[in-house]
Chain A
Amino acid sequence: MSRRFAVLAALTVVCAGVELVAGRGMSPAVVWDVLGGGGDTTERHILFQLRLPRLLVALGAGACLGVAGLVLQSALRNPLAGPEVTGVTPGAVLGAVAATGLGLAGWESPLAVVVAACVGGCAGAALLWLLAGRGRSDPAQTAVHGVLVSAVLGGLTAMVLLVAPGELGSVVQWLVGTTEGRVWQHWHLLWPWALAWGAAAWLLAGPLTLLRCGDDIALAAGLSAARARALALLCAVALTAGAVAAVGALGFVGLLVPHLALAVFGADLRVTLPGAALVGAAVVCGADAAAQLSSRLLAAALDSGRLTLPVGALTACLGAALLLLVVRRAPSRTF
């Protein structure tokens, strides 16, 4: 098990390294030079004030989404649950966009964005909870209702964007998810939040592992299933909201990382929750590096210097492909 962690950690470090050199305008040699203490003021600024915080935010957001997805899937016993399809992510986006549109929050007050995203995420999850009603225990029904809730919340977000387009230019990137332009302030806000809720989620590893066995068994073994589930959902919503406030709605990360983590680390969440954090960090960081590299290639090919590919677009495509694989596997194996 520790070997798997080591391999994954090495993979994450490689992704992080690629991410640092993937941007435009600095060759790997220059980056190496700057890291060693050399380079001119501009180069130092680019690396330490732009690329490093961006890298850290990508790692942190990926970890948050990975853990949130695993907590959701375990608590709801649903392999198709994920922040994106349970109303949490779209709710958080709506919260962030609405708060910005109303002038309550903005790039200058990222804390307000986190709070708004959190409230929105809770509201989205609550809406699904109410709508699904008695069908909650059925993964397929919950997924269907989740799509419904997501569509409604997405529509509301679009309305906010249409009504108040002026102030919201930069908000659009929340819809796709991007790490473009993330600075230290975002990181300083993200890490304590992620650490606190991540730790809370890990403390719930015992109950969550038991919830994976089904409510009947969990109750018979002495777990107050409803209470444990409510606490777990709170953690998942908070982690998702933190990630959405930092990088926007990164598609499919929260849905697919848990499947990868479970395949690598097994069903004991004491191990798999930290594993999901690591997988999530590696996936988002790697996707961001890939997005930057392909932006460079595309920009060169299309001869448009300003073209940037948001990482969210990449994770959505990658995620959709992986989801197809998951669905194609035998149904009993997907949870």
Chain B
Amino acid sequence: MTESVGIRAEGVHFGYPGQPVLRGVDMTVGPGELTALIGLNGCGKSTLLRLAAGLLQPDEGRVLLAGDDLARLSRRATARRVALLHQSAPAVPGMTVRQLVRQGRYAARGPLGMLREGDDPVVRRALRDVGVEQWAERDVDALSGGERQRVRLAMALAQDTRVLLLDEPTTYLDLHHQLDVLQTVVRLREERGLTVVMVLHDLAHAARFAERIVALRDGRVVADGTPKEVVTPGLLADVLRVAGRVGRDPEGGWPVCYPDHPLLALEYENHVH
């Protein structure tokens, strides 16, 4: 197993004209750690993930990958180190599962390398990792949402990186497929020592699967720690704007949330200030 790689964001500011998104984020993800990013819609979670993947450049501050500044790496060099699974993907008519997963090899092979036929053990391994070998010759667009998400995860795995970033990997999936995807990620991380950061909307999943939870509000980190430390009624109110209670899973001991009702704007203001 090769060395795991850590990610470090230092004083990262990012925004669009007249609309700041991240206002000074410091975050360190240790090598081989599984971290969940949580927060309301529009709090900057996805933006932070894109910055960590080098798809955006910070206005201020920097993002380091194993100590290297991402701003100095080319697109291809970055993609050899970090894979990002986007929240949603457009249709790609006519493309088979194997062809799509093979596209993940672009960073490793380059534009001319992609022209060679060559049988790629990494592609086969990626297909096996998520258990989609049996559909390899089917059209991606003909698959169900859950199956397609696994195929897209396989494409990210085909990049063969040490770091895997997942932007809401379970959105639009039923519970069965949510657990399926998350457990695949957990298993691969254990097998390969991958560093994983994922944006999750479901606090239950975050509390159960992540070793660490980083909560964002208005472009700032407001909580950072293990699920047991972080997941409290205060966090529910501060970060997710819901009133609720927190218990413990009787078997596993991880925090379990019982959300009651959304906080009204006034209650929320009083709570935060």
Interface residues of A (CB under 8 A from B): 77, 202-207, 209-210, 212-214, 216-217, 219-224, 228, 262-263, 266-268, 270, 332-335
- Residue of chain B at shortest CB distance from A231: B111
Tell me, in angstroms, the Cα distance from A216 to B165 when the chains sit together.
14
Contact across chains for B93 and A333 when beta carbons are under 8 A apart: yes
Q: Which of B43-65 contact A (CB under 8 A)?
A: 53, 55
Contact across chains for A266 and B159 when beta carbons are under 8 A apart: no
Contact across chains for A213 and B159 when beta carbons are under 8 A apart: no
> Please, how many residues of chain B have a CB less than 8 angstroms from a CB on the other chain?
37
Of the listed stretches B84-92, B203-211, B230-238, chain A binds B84-92
Contact across chains for A262 and B79 when beta carbons are under 8 A apart: no
Which A residues lie within 8 Å of B141 (CB)?
332-333
Contact across chains for A220 and B96 when beta carbons are under 8 A apart: no
Contact across chains for B106 and A223 when beta carbons are under 8 A apart: yes
Which B residues lie within 8 Å of A263 (CB)?
94
Question: Which residue of the partner chain, among B55, B74, B95, B115, contacts A213 with CB atoms under 8 Å?
Answer: B95
Q: Is B226 an interface residue (CB 8 A)?
A: no
Which B residues lie within 8 Å of A268 (CB)?
95, 99
Q: Is B149 an interface residue (CB 8 A)?
A: no
Contact across chains for B96 and A219 when beta carbons are under 8 A apart: no
| Chain B nearest CB, measured from A120 CB (Å) | 29
Cβ proximity bits B98-141 to A, threshold 8 Å, 1 near / 0 not: 01100110110111111100000000000000000000000001
Which B residues lie within 8 Å of A216 (CB)?
55, 86, 89
Question: Which residue of the partner chain, among A77, A203, A228, A335, contacts B115 with CB atoms under 8 Å?
Answer: A203
Contact across chains for A221 and B94 when beta carbons are under 8 A apart: no
- Residue of chain A at shortest CB distance from B105: A221
Contact across chains for B111 and A203 when beta carbons are under 8 A apart: yes
Question: Which residue of the partner chain, among A206, A213, A219, A262, contacts B114 with CB atoms under 8 Å?
Answer: A206
Tell me, in angstroms, the Cα distance from A268 to B96 when the chains sit together.
9
- Residue of chain A at shortest CB distance from B90: A214
- Offer 22 A-B interface pairs, CB within 8 angstroms, sorted by A: A209-B114, A210-B103, A210-B114, A212-B92, A213-B100, A214-B89, A216-B86, A217-B103, A220-B55, A220-B84, A220-B156, A221-B79, A221-B159, A222-B75, A222-B76, A228-B111, A267-B93, A268-B99, A332-B91, A332-B141, A335-B91, A335-B92
Tell me, in angstroms, the Cα distance from A223 to B53 when the chains sit together.
13
Q: Is B80 an interface residue (CB 8 A)?
A: yes
Q: A216-B86, A221-B159, A335-B91 are in contact. Are A266 and B79 (CB under 8 A)?
A: no
| Chain B nearest CB, measured from A226 CB (Å) | 10
* Known interface pairs A266-B99, A268-B95; 6 further A-B residue pairs with C-beta atoms within 8 A, sorted by A's residue number: A206-B114, A214-B89, A217-B103, A222-B80, A263-B94, A333-B141
Q: A206-B115, A213-B100 are in contact. Are A222 and B107 (CB under 8 A)?
A: yes
- Residue of chain A at shortest CB distance from B95: A267
Tell me, in angstroms, the Cα distance from A223 to B159 when the chains sit together.
12
Which A residues lie within 8 Å of B199 (CB)?
none
Q: Is B196 an interface residue (CB 8 A)?
A: no
Contact across chains for B79 and A222 when beta carbons are under 8 A apart: yes
| Chain A nearest CB, measured from B10 CB (Å) | 23
Which B residues lie within 8 Å of A212 (CB)?
92, 95
